Amino acid sequence: MIAQIISIGNELLIGDTVNTNASWMGQFLNDLGIDVQRVHTISDDKHVIADTIKQSMAESDLVITTGGLGPTHDDITKTTIAELFGVEMRQDEAVLSYIKELFASRNIPFSESNAWQAMVPENCEVLFNKAGTAPGMWFHEQDCFLAVLPGVPYEMKYLMKRRVAEKLREQTKAIGFIHTEYLKTAGIGESTLSDHVLGDLSDFLNDHVSMAFLPSFGQVTLRITGKGDSKEEAISNSAKLIELIREKAGKYIYGDDKDHTLSERVGAILSEQNKTIATAESCTGGLIASTITDVAGSSVYMLGGVVSYANEVKVNELGVDPKHIKTVGAVSKEVALQMAKGVAEKLGADIGISTTGIAGPGGGTAEKPVGTVWIGFYSNEQHFAVKALLTKDRLVNKQRTTVMALELIRRILSGIEELPYALTKETA
Amino acid sequence: MIAQIISIGNELLIGDTVNTNASWMGQFLNDLGIDVQRVHTISDDKHVIADTIKQSMAESDLVITTGGLGPTHDDITKTTIAELFGVEMRQDEAVLSYIKELFASRNIPFSESNAWQAMVPENCEVLFNKAGTAPGMWFHEQDCFLAVLPGVPYEMKYLMKRRVAEKLREQTKAIGFIHTEYLKTAGIGESTLSDHVLGDLSDFLNDHVSMAFLPSFGQVTLRITGKGDSKEEAISNSAKLIELIREKAGKYIYGDDKDHTLSERVGAILSEQNKTIATAESCTGGLIASTITDVAGSSVYMLGGVVSYANEVKVNELGVDPKHIKTVGAVSKEVALQMAKGVAEKLGADIGISTTGIAGPGGGTAEKPVGTVWIGFYSNEQHFAVKALLTKDRLVNKQRTTVMALELIRRILSGIEELPYALTKETA
Query: What pLDDT digit, counting tens, does each position of A220-247 carry?
Result: 999 898 888 888 998 999 999 999 999 9
Determine the Cα–Cα distance for residues A200 and B310; give it in Å rounded to an integer.
49
Q: What is the pTM of this model?
A: 0.84
- The pLDDT tens digits for B236-260 are 999 999 999 999 999 999 999 878 9
- Domain shared by B297 and B348, yes or no: yes
Residue % of chain B over a pLDDT of 70: 100
Q: What is the pLDDT of residue A78?
A: 95
Report chain A residues whose CB lies below 8 A from the CB of B19. 18-19, 22-23, 39
Tell me whether the omega of the peptide bond preceding residue B361 falls within 30 degrees of 0, making it cis: yes
Note whether residue B427 is domain-resident: no
Residue type, position B195, single letter:
D
Length of chain B equals 428
Length of chain A equals 428
CA proximity to B279, closest of A313, A101, A193: A313
Cβ of B293 within 8 Å of Cβ of A313? The answer is no
Compute the average pLDDT of residues A379-391.
96
Report strand pairing: B302-308 vs A302-308: antiparallel
Residue type, position B150, single letter:
P
Of the two residues B176 and B233, the one the predictor is more confident about is B233
Determine the Cα–Cα distance for residues A280 and B366; give it in Å rounded to an integer.
35
CA proximity to B374, closest of B415, B405, B410, B419: B405
Note whether residue B428 is domain-resident: no
Report chain B residues whose CB lies below 8 A from the CB of A405. none
Query: Minimal Cα–Cα distance from A318 to chain B, Å?
Result: 11
- Domain shared by B274 and B166, yes or no: no
Contact between residue A167 and residue A145 where contact means Cβ atoms under 8 Å apart? yes
Determine the Cα–Cα distance for residues B428 and B37; give it in Å rounded to an integer.
61
Note whether residue A308 is domain-resident: yes
Determine the Cα–Cα distance for residues B408 and B386; give it in Å rounded to an integer.
10
Name every residue whose Cβ is closer than 8 Å to that of residue B209 and which is 6 or more positions away in sequence. Answer: B224, B225, B226, B227, B237, B238, B240, B241
pLDDT over 80 at A13, yes or no: yes
Among candidates B38, B43, B293 on the partner chain, residue whose Cβ is nearest the Cβ of A286: B293
- Return the sign of the alpha-carbon dihedral for residues A280, A283, A288, A289: positive
Contact between residue B145 and residue B175 where contact means Cβ atoms under 8 Å apart? no
Tell me which residue range forms the domain holding A78.
Answer: 2-171
Q: How many other CB atoms are found less than 10 A from the CB of residue A174?
A: 12
Cβ of B293 within 8 Å of Cβ of A312? The answer is no
Q: What is the pLDDT of residue A113?
A: 78
Compute the average pLDDT of residues A400-418.
97
Determine the Cα–Cα distance for residues B83 and B89; give it in Å rounded to an integer.
9
Q: What is the 3-state secondary structure (H, E, C) of A321-389?
A: CHHHHHHCCCCCHHHHHHHHHHHHHHHCCCEEEEEEECCCCCCCCCCCCCCEEEEEEECCCCEEEEEEE
Compute the average pLDDT of residues A109-132.
91
pLDDT over 80 at B86, yes or no: yes
pLDDT band at A15 (very low <50, low <70, confident <90, very high): confident
The ipTM value here is 0.84
Compute the average pLDDT of residues B49-53.
97
- The pLDDT tens digits for B289-308 are 999 999 999 999 999 999 99
- The pLDDT tens digits for A50-75 are 999 999 999 999 999 999 998 877 78
**Residue B5 DSSP SS3:** strand
Q: What is the pLDDT of residue B109?
A: 83
Of the two residues B218 and A382, the one the predictor is more confident about is A382
- Per-residue DSSP letter, A173: T
Edge-first strand order for the sheet with B136-141 is: A125-127, A136-141, A144-149, A62-66, A2-8, A35-42, B35-42, B2-8, B62-66, B144-149, B136-141, B125-127
Report chain A residues whose CB lies below 8 A from the CB of B23. 12, 15-19
Cβ of A15 within 8 Å of Cβ of B28? The answer is yes
Determine the Cα–Cα distance for residues A8 and A42; give it in Å rounded to an integer.
5
- Per-residue DSSP letter, A206: B
Note whether residue A201 is domain-resident: yes
CA proximity to B193, closest of B240, B241, B252: B252
pLDDT band at A29 (very low <50, low <70, confident <90, very high): very high
Q: What is the pLDDT of residue B144?
A: 96
Q: What is the pLDDT of residue B322?
A: 97
Compute the average pLDDT of residues B201-230.
87
Q: What is the pLDDT of residue B193?
A: 93
Note whether residue A334 is domain-resident: yes
**Least reliable range by pLDDT among A257-261, B86-90, B235-239:** A257-261
Cβ of A309 within 8 Å of Cβ of B294? The answer is no
Q: Please give the angle made by the CA atoms of A400, A402 and A405, to the nearest 5 degrees.
A: 110
- The pLDDT tens digits for A138-147 are 999 999 999 9
Query: Minimal Cα–Cα distance from A229 to chain B, Å?
Result: 22
Query: Minimal Cα–Cα distance from B59 to chain A, Å?
Result: 12
- Domain shared by B288 and B225, yes or no: no
Residue type, position A71, single letter:
P
Cβ of B290 within 8 Å of Cβ of A285? The answer is yes
Last residue of a domain, one of A200, A231, A255: A255
**Residue A184 DSSP SS3:** strand
Q: What is the pLDDT of residue B210?
A: 87
- Per-residue DSSP letter, A142: T
Residue type, position B223, single letter:
R
Contact between residue B32 and residue B175 where contact means Cβ atoms under 8 Å apart? yes
pLDDT band at A295 (very low <50, low <70, confident <90, very high): very high
Determine the Cα–Cα distance for residues B4 and A278; give it in Å rounded to an integer.
56
- Domain shared by A197 and A301, yes or no: no
Q: How many other CB atoms are found less than 10 A from the CB of residue B48?
A: 17
pLDDT band at B72 (very low <50, low <70, confident <90, very high): confident
By the 10 Å C-beta count (0-12 exposed, 13-18 middle, 19+ buried), B365 is classed as: exposed
Q: What is the pLDDT of residue B176?
A: 76
A98: domain CATH number?
A: 3.40.980.10
**Residue A287 DSSP SS3:** helix
Cβ of A19 within 8 Å of Cβ of B24? The answer is no
**Residue A42 DSSP SS3:** strand
Which run of H or E residues covers position A278? strand A277-281
Compute the average pLDDT of residues A410-424.
96
Among candidates A39, A305, A313 on the partner chain, residue whose Cβ is nearest the Cβ of B41: A39
- The pLDDT tens digits for A304-318 are 999 999 999 999 999
**Residue B380 DSSP SS3:** coil
Compute the average pLDDT of residues A113-126.
92
| A7: nearest CA partner in chain B | B39
Among candidates B26, B304, B359 on the partner chain, residue whose Cβ is nearest the Cβ of A14: B26
Compute the average pLDDT of residues A318-346.
97
Distances (CA, A) of A72 to A75, A76, A114, B320: 6, 9, 9, 55
- Domain shared by B301 and B316, yes or no: yes
Which run of H or E residues covers position A220? strand A219-228
Last residue of a domain, one of B171, B193, B212: B171
- The pLDDT tens digits for B391-423 are 989 999 999 999 999 999 999 999 999 999 999
Report chain B residues whose CB lies below 8 A from the CB of A289. 281, 285-286, 289-290, 307, 309
Q: How far is CA A302 from the centre of its chain?
A: 25
- Domain shared by A67 and A89, yes or no: yes
Q: What is the pLDDT of residue B417?
A: 95
Which run of H or E residues covers position A174? none
pLDDT over 80 at A428, yes or no: yes
- Domain shared by B241 and B268, yes or no: no
Determine the Cα–Cα distance for residues A134 and B123; give it in Å rounded to an integer.
50
- Domain shared by B329 and B280, yes or no: yes
- Domain shared by B161 and B181, yes or no: no
Number of separate domains in chain B: 3
Cβ of A294 within 8 Å of Cβ of B285? The answer is yes
Tell me how many residue pairs between chain A and chain B have CB atoms under 8 A apart: 221
- Domain shared by A129 and A182, yes or no: no
Q: Please give the angle made by the CA atoms of A77, B37 and B177, to the nearest 5 degrees.
A: 140
**Least reliable range by pLDDT among A170-184, A187-201, B116-130, B325-339:** A170-184
Note whether residue A428 is domain-resident: no
- The pLDDT tens digits for B217-238 are 789 999 898 888 888 999 999 9
Note whether residue A214 is domain-resident: yes
- The pLDDT tens digits for B339-386 are 999 999 999 999 999 999 999 999 999 999 999 999 999 999 999 999
- Domain shared by B52 and B147, yes or no: yes
pLDDT over 90 at A128, yes or no: yes
pLDDT over 90 at A372, yes or no: yes
| DSSP symbols for B303-366 | EEEEEE-SHHHHHHHH---HHHHHHT-SSSHHHHHHHHHHHHHHHT-SEEEEEEE--SSS---S
Among candidates B22, B290, B307 on the partner chain, residue whose Cβ is nearest the Cβ of A41: B22
By the 10 Å C-beta count (0-12 exposed, 13-18 middle, 19+ buried), A336 is classed as: buried
- Domain shared by A401 and A273, yes or no: yes
Determine the Cα–Cα distance for residues A38 and B15; give it in Å rounded to an integer.
12
Burial code (b: 16+ CB inside 10 Å, e: under 16) for B143-161 equals ebbbbbbbbbeebbbbbbe
Report chain A residues whose CB lies below 8 A from the CB of B13. 26, 30, 36-39
How many CA atoms lie less than 13 Å away from B12 in the CB half-sphere?
Answer: 27
Note whether residue B267 is domain-resident: yes
Q: Please give the angle made by the CA atoms of A241, A250 and A263, to the nearest 5 degrees.
A: 120
Cβ of A12 within 8 Å of Cβ of B26? The answer is yes
Compute the average pLDDT of residues A381-407.
96
pLDDT over 80 at A49, yes or no: yes
Query: Minimal Cα–Cα distance from A287 to chain B, Å?
Result: 5
Determine the Cα–Cα distance for residues B149 and B62; give it in Å rounded to an integer.
13
Distances (CA, A) of B222 to A46, B7, B206, B216, B225: 33, 30, 16, 11, 10
Last residue of a domain, one of B171, B194, B212: B171
A355: domain CATH number?
A: 3.90.950.20
Cβ of A41 within 8 Å of Cβ of B24? The answer is no
Determine the Cα–Cα distance for residues B309 and A289; give it in Å rounded to an integer.
10
A202: domain CATH number?
A: 3.30.70.2860
Q: Is B217 left (phi over 0), alpha (psi -120 to 50) or beta?
A: left
